[in-house]
Amino acid sequence: MRIIRQFKERYWISIITVAVILLAWSLVTANHQVSQLIIPSPKQIWVCFMQLIQNGYKGNSLWAHMWASLRRLFIAFAIAVVTAIPVGLLSGYSVKVRAVFEPIIAFIRPLPPLGYYTIIILWMGTGDTSKIFLLFLGAFAPIFVSCVSGVTRVNQDYINHARTLGANQGQIFVHVILPASLPEVFVGLRNAMSIAYATSVAAEMVAAVSGIGWMVLDASKYLRSDVVFVGIILMGITGIILDKILLLLEHQIVGGRERHA
């Protein structure tokens, strides 16, 4: 009951915060204290949103632009997950494997993805392949680091106890190390998703003809601040939804294991 009550309190506080922001926003724009070109009113943004739903933007529907961004993101994120998780877990479990991959990740990790995007474009062109590869590189490092951290933080007593029961290395890895590492793995997944999503939008602003990031950049050239705000709000809401999906998945998997532990 206490957890439910705390959740309700946070829920209502969040709603009130959003309501206060919208109210202040409406008052500022209603009194014309700020130009509509700089900050459109909430009503103007809503009207623009409905127009984009009906008419689209530059030959593509609003949902087509959304899907163009999400499709690149999902493909890159999926590739990063199926490669970074096993490599990261093995690197945490084996010093030799870690010695192979850790210097590469240490070099790539601090680099901003857009910093080497020009090189990727030279290699792969300006199509979706270069964008997907860029997002993959951006997502790989945080997943890898979290997996290594998760494995190295496993309580050694659990491993020793499994060995005394006759478990071999493979059984220890599957039944002890992997479950104990899952919380850290999901931290890496959430970080990777946020980095890849932000990189996706930025990459579309550099070289693209579709996507929410491209729509925002193109609209800014024509001083369509209402379209820019619609795009920014959609990007923010989409990012929150993606993070909540991963958080829900974490609770289902990690929480379920904890309940049965």
Q: Where are the domains of the chain?
A: 1-32, 42-260
pTM above 0.75, yes or no: yes
The whole-number pLDDT of residue 47 equals 92
| Listed residue (81, 111, 33, 75) closest to 186, CA to CA | 81
As its CATH architecture, domain 42-260 has Orthogonal Bundle (1.10)
| Listed residue (126, 127, 131, 177) closest to 156, CA to CA | 177
Question: What residues in the chain have per-residue pLDDT under 70?
Answer: 1-8, 207, 256-261
Collapsing DSSP to helix, strand or coil, 127 comes out as coil
147 and 181 Cβ atoms separated by less than 8 Å:
yes
The whole-number pLDDT of residue 4 equals 57
The whole-number pLDDT of residue 260 equals 40
Q: What residue type is assigned to position 239 of the chain? A: G
The whole-number pLDDT of residue 5 equals 64
The whole-number pLDDT of residue 259 equals 38
The whole-number pLDDT of residue 48 equals 93
The whole-number pLDDT of residue 51 equals 92
Burial 176-207 (b: 16+ CB within 10 A, else e): bbbbbbbbbbbbbbbbbbbbbbbbbbbbbbbe
The whole-number pLDDT of residue 141 equals 92
d(CA 59, CA 253): 42
The whole-number pLDDT of residue 79 equals 96
171 and 162 Cβ atoms separated by less than 8 Å:
yes
